[in-house]
Amino acid sequence: MNDREFDVIVYGASGFTGRLVAEYMQQQYGRAVNWAMAGRSAEKLAQVRDEMSIDAATPLVTADADNEAELGAMAARTQVMITTVGPYQLYGSALVAACVAAGTDYVDLSGEPGWMHEMIEAHNAAAKVSGARIVHSCGFDSIPFDLGVYFLQQAAQEKFGAPCNQIRTRVRAMNGEFSGGTAASMGATMAAVSKNPDLLGILVNPFSLANGHEGPAQPADNAVYEDEATGQWVAPFIMAAINTKNIHRSNALLGHAYGEDFLYDEMMLCGPGDEGKAVAEFVASSNPLAGDDVPQPGEGPSKESREAGNYDVLFIGTTANGARMEAVVGGDMDPGYGSTSKMLAESAICLLQDCDIDGGVYTPAPAMGDKLIARLVDNAGLYFRMEN
């Protein structure tokens, strides 16, 4: 595909997250990568290009999410497509189809498992033929979690010669906001369930993206309890529903490198004792994606707020013979915007420059693995380290 006009197109570049991706591409790569900004309105794109101090030579591409011909023409012009135009179940299906048909690599921020299941069923076989690498969930959901599990399992194989058959993920810190797009995606998913009750089975099954594999019953992740692994009270983590499905899909795509009986769960750490219990009960009773303060799609926090954010996630792995090891993944910015925009951009560059894999519909770990971890550490403010 090196005869394509562009290396990368950022579709949705006039939206809030798309603007941040474009800004990062300018700051990190300038015109060393031949990238373009795309959206519905050339006027809005030009305005964003000026406001974000992006090189005036950066090309602008127009395409409407409802116009299949325009999407097809756009996909044929680039090697990799970045899209921030969601909810994807409302606005993303035609673009995936266009990229698959054109053999164009694709990354998004989807945390919509019902839609992802549909895309896998509809396009995985065709993507293998065309060579398109379609990689969903390249933001806070699910890169730190998917790659965190992968990182710990690589260490377990090196140290013990076997994977951890259980990993318990505990979110130790998360300072920042979920994106308005995440809230909108969850709303769209609930609306879709009301129209198609069969979708509920996909949403509640942790293995619904795992290519038909059905593993053992997974640990409970919907209750408050005192966690024997940490000695702290824990509460449900709102992103577990999508991250868990992606991690089990990664395991399937990696040939069940984590084992066919792999156990996984995610929870929020809330502290020990009575105080920790009270915090956990409060967390469990609240919805961070509801209320008047939640950003709407196209909105988001200030630059100062994004830069003041951070997150830190602990992965506790145990092998079949009881050996334990721990790893930590974190980032230096607000997870839903500042860090997510950098993860998405680096995923596209990783596919462009580093990855020699066949076409298909992927999750981040089997598609990019160690190569993406290295990029995120070197460029995007993330850390991956062993705790013991």
Indicate if the alpha-carbon torsion angle 92, 94, 95, 97 is positive or negative: positive
178: pLDDT strictly greater than 90: no
Specify the range with the lowest mean pLDDT, choosing from 28-42, 220-234, 273-287, 293-307: 293-307
- Give me the pLDDT at residue 192, please: 74
Q: Which CATH number describes the domain made up of 6-139+342-366?
A: 3.40.50.720
336: pLDDT strictly greater than 80: yes
User: What does residue 383 show for φ and ψ, rounded to 5 degrees?
Assistant: -130, 145
289: pLDDT strictly greater than 80: no
Q: What is the pLDDT of residues 299-316, one digit of tens each?
A: 677 788 887 889 999 999
1: pLDDT strictly greater than 60: no
Give 176's pLDDT tier (boundaries 50, 70, 90). confident
Q: Tell me the percentage of the chain whose pLDDT exceeds 70.
A: 94
Distance separating alpha carbons of residues 60 and 62, to the nearest angstrom: 7
381: pLDDT strictly greater than 70: yes
187: pLDDT strictly greater than 80: no
183: pLDDT strictly greater than 70: no
Supply 121's token pair: 């069923």
Q: What is the 3-state secondary structure (H, E, C) of the chain?
A: CCCCCEEEEEECCCCHHHHHHHHHHHHHHCCCCCEEEEECCHHHHHHHHHHCCCCCCCCEEECCCCCHHHHHHHHCCEEEEEECCCCHHHHCHHHHHHHHHHCCEEECCCCCHHHHHHHHHHHHHHHHHHCCEEECCCECCEHHHHHHHHHHHHHHHHHHCCCCCEEEEEEEEEECCCCHHHHHHHHHHHHHHHHCCCHHHHHHCCCCCCCCCCCCCCCCCCCCEEECCCCEEEEECCCHHHHHHHHHHHHHHCCCCCCCCCEEEEEEEEECHHHHHHHHHHHHHCCCCCCCCCCCCCCCCCHHHHHHCEEEEEEEEECCCCCEEEEEEEECCCHHHHHHHHHHHHHHHHHHHCCCCCCEEECHHHHHHHHHHHHHHHHCCEEEEECC
- Give me the pLDDT at residue 294, please: 60
- Give me the pLDDT at residue 286, please: 82
Return the exposure string of 152-179: e unless at least 16 CB atoms fall within 10 Å of the residue's CB, then b.
Answer: bbbbbeeeeeebbbbbbbbbeebebbbb
The answer to whether the beta carbons of residues 245 and 113 sit under 8 Å apart is: yes
Give 290's pLDDT tier (boundaries 50, 70, 90). low
